[in-house]
Structure 1
């Protein structure tokens, strides 16, 4: 129970108001060492309650020890604006009965407006690495008084190419701080090159791996010949599967827009989300999904991490994820908190090997499925014989008989010279002692 953690009564009041009765596994495991001030490296499944596990220690410290003249006390870095907004909202709910304030600082918003809000000195800032770095460089933000640093979905930030920005920000933080790294697929391999610069003697808590993350989610694959057939299969699935809300993932922004337009003409309640949209547009689309005014979201991997939207029963990979970890995060949008979910991947011929590598990485075998009437002719690669050669290939017969001498090959130009007398080679030109050929007499 939360009351066993000796949390401040104002935080307990907020926890009760939110309807949280007992800590989840990751909260029960991570909160005690976090409240003691230890650095942590935590891996736990999607939807397990990691956000509370790092917010409560920060809020507990801010409530217990007042520091009105200090600057930012807690910094939480996230890979996407959506996740930053979500963390900020949860922080505000937990701090509802305190005077602790939080601010989201992300790209896509007016810089001067953000700087004005930062001057009001919020205790906790949640933001994306690029915009935080920009504020540090322009001296509208400093972390000289920082007490807590959290990297949420740390491996994703590095995958997205934010390594330089993350290290710039962490190096600008006060050295005497508590640091915590959280993710659903956090590994030393994924973040090993920054651990020594961020954490000090961390305690590792690994409650899940990529291989155990999706045990309660049913995964299927449907083969397709090309993108045109995929579109027909996607339309059928969205019209016939049973779901409250669905997310469709693509690898390209232009494709997301195209599918959004086509599905809307089919009478489906669809919205689109990708990195080129402004922050107000992205927030509006997510609110439409949460409110049920649309029930299908077409998106890129910008929605693969951290988004917690109730009622997502179906995930469709129109394009297969580029890695096993990213597949885990996409599929993890359904089946939240141990509930059952369904994930379907549409596989074109050029994606077969990628599918096989993801299956090997996750140590699972996806269920094969066909849609009657819209099956493709592609059935996977040709099966291999035991000798490793493709089935149906034959060894060429050896036409040579024992004792036969190899025939001498003759070139066509040699045949033309048969019977003709070869010209004698010209005598070499005599060379003088000085190394030059003598001039010919006229």
Structure 2
């Protein structure tokens, strides 16, 4: 299938796509849309930036247009892990449904609860939200799912990693059994994912478009060794000054490090925004808006942004801290090189991160390019010796001195035996005769002689 018109989508959707200059579906869209239009439950695994959002939105909107039900409650629910991703999904719904009467509402944390409740009472066809806030509305009696026709779990692997498994299962259990469920993720997930698939999907079609090892070939992946945090900070400043990029995201593992790095960059005249979980909704929205409109070119973020942002022109990702897993690495660098674009991903590796980096390389079955910044060349340039798996070869443990001495002397060292152990069990020793009528015998001391 070469065009969206070949997918038999509603003419109003095709018109919207045409005005957006989108005519050819991506591989995930070409595979998932026909199956979704037939009503099948789907489990789709496709890499970040492959066009998954439109792959579930187009058949969802098509179904709502084909079967109009004006006097019903919400007909579709889309669950996502982060506020940023939910906001972007809402914008895509509004763009694709511009020639329809379909309404969608956002239900995420950080916004006025009463305003959200009032909007939900208008019975929008589509609700887009995060599990935590939806559960709050459910307990307040604001969330009605009796008429639901489609349930979408987007970035489901990330949602479960963030601890939303029970919330997702609870929300799904309240939906009608005959609904259609579409589950999309970038990785296979673990036991929590298997549990959700078993309990939420009905005889799903499984579409494996990509694995975590099928990274975008247009992303250049590099590593630069660093001595310590201060050295990493200098490297970041050098990269921002010398790399060619339009927009950049720098990832840290902690909020504290994100705030510190943001301060360091601002002190050197860089315009940056910092994004992490402790930022309120206004700050998070401002950061994303300024990055998208070009007001700032650099965003310092924790993994809260690894699956929550899609910014045109984002072509540089720097891992200030190495991510803790291969899947997280995939989602971080997936912010660049999206839908055919090119990008660069640079990871700064301290000595204690080398083995983690090697594990990620082994997991992805890829080799990152080793790079040296001559102007800031540090002392640590990688381990002196490597194992076959790429990890550092540790020094052998020193032998115990006694064993070494024993080998030299040809005799085995005598083992120390504690007094208690040598004495044996108390029951095996005969009791001393009582000659003092129950009083202890006073030990006689030798005369120490005259005092000097």
Q: What TM-score do you get using the length of structure 1 for normalisation? A: 0.89
Q: Which residue number corresponds to residue 419 of structure 1?
A: none
Deviation track 1:397-416 (CA, whole Å, cap 9, x = no partner) reads: 966799967798999xxxxx
Where 1:288 maps in the other structure, the secondary structure is: helix
Query: Structure 2 regions of 5+ residues with no counterpart?
Result: 418-429, 441-452
Q: Which residue number corresponds to residue 351 of structure 2?
A: 349
Task: Measure, in 1, the Cα distance between the counterparts of 2:37 and 2:223.
Answer: 44
Structure 1 segment 29-178 matched on structure 2, within 5 A: 29-178=31-180
Task: Measure, in 2, the Cα distance between the counterparts of 1:130 and 1:402.
Answer: 68
Q: Which residue number corresponds to residue 428 of structure 1?
A: 433
Q: Which residue number corresponds to residue 311 of structure 1?
A: 313
Q: What TM-score do you get using the length of structure 2 for normalisation? A: 0.87
Q: Does 311-320 or 215-224 show the bigger shift?
A: 215-224
- Shift of residue 239 of structure 1? 0.8
**Given that residues 42 and 186 in structure 1 are in contact (C-alpha distance below 8 angstroms), is that contact kept between their aligned partners in structure 2?**
no
**Given that residues 43 and 208 in structure 1 are in contact (C-alpha distance below 8 angstroms), is that contact kept between their aligned partners in structure 2?**
yes
Q: Which residue number corresponds to residue 290 of structure 2?
A: 288
**Given that residues 157 and 186 in structure 2 are in contact (C-alpha distance below 8 angstroms), is that contact kept between their aligned partners in structure 1?**
no
Q: Which residue number corresponds to residue 422 of structure 1?
A: none
Q: Which residue number corresponds to residue 243 of structure 1?
A: 245
- Shift of residue 359 of structure 1? 0.8
Q: Which residue number corresponds to residue 379 of structure 2?
A: 377
* Number of corresponding residues: 421
Where 1:373 maps in the other structure, the secondary structure is: helix
**Given that residues 46 and 332 in structure 1 are in contact (C-alpha distance below 8 angstroms), is that contact kept between their aligned partners in structure 2?**
yes
Shift in alpha-carbon separation, 1:407–1:291, aligned structure 2, 3 A = closer
Q: Which residue number corresponds to residue 6 of structure 1?
A: 8
**Given that residues 26 and 53 in structure 1 are in contact (C-alpha distance below 8 angstroms), is that contact kept between their aligned partners in structure 2?**
yes
Q: What's the RMSD between the two structures over aligned residues?
A: 2.8
Task: Measure, in 2, the Cα distance between the counterparts of 1:56 and 1:410.
Answer: 78
**Which of 17, 22, 25 is equivalent to 1:23?**
25
**Given that residues 165 and 192 in structure 2 are in contact (C-alpha distance below 8 angstroms), is that contact kept between their aligned partners in structure 1?**
no
Deviation track 1:246-285 (CA, whole Å, cap 9, x = no partner) reads: 0000111122122112111211121111111222221111
Shift in alpha-carbon separation, 1:255–1:37, aligned structure 2, 3 A = same
Establish whether residue 204 from structure 1 lines up as the match of residue 206 from structure 2: yes
- Shift of residue 213 of structure 1? 2.1
- Shift of residue 381 of structure 1? 3.2
Deviation track 1:345-397 (CA, whole Å, cap 9, x = no partner) reads: 111122112111111110111111111132221233341699x9756999899
**Given that residues 382 and 391 in structure 1 are in contact (C-alpha distance below 8 angstroms), is that contact kept between their aligned partners in structure 2?**
no
Shift in alpha-carbon separation, 1:385–1:246, aligned structure 2, 3 A = closer
Q: Does 306-315 or 81-90 show the bigger shift?
A: 306-315
Structure 1 segment 177-188 matched on structure 2, within 5 A: 177-187=179-189
**Given that residues 271 and 294 in structure 1 are in contact (C-alpha distance below 8 angstroms), is that contact kept between their aligned partners in structure 2?**
yes
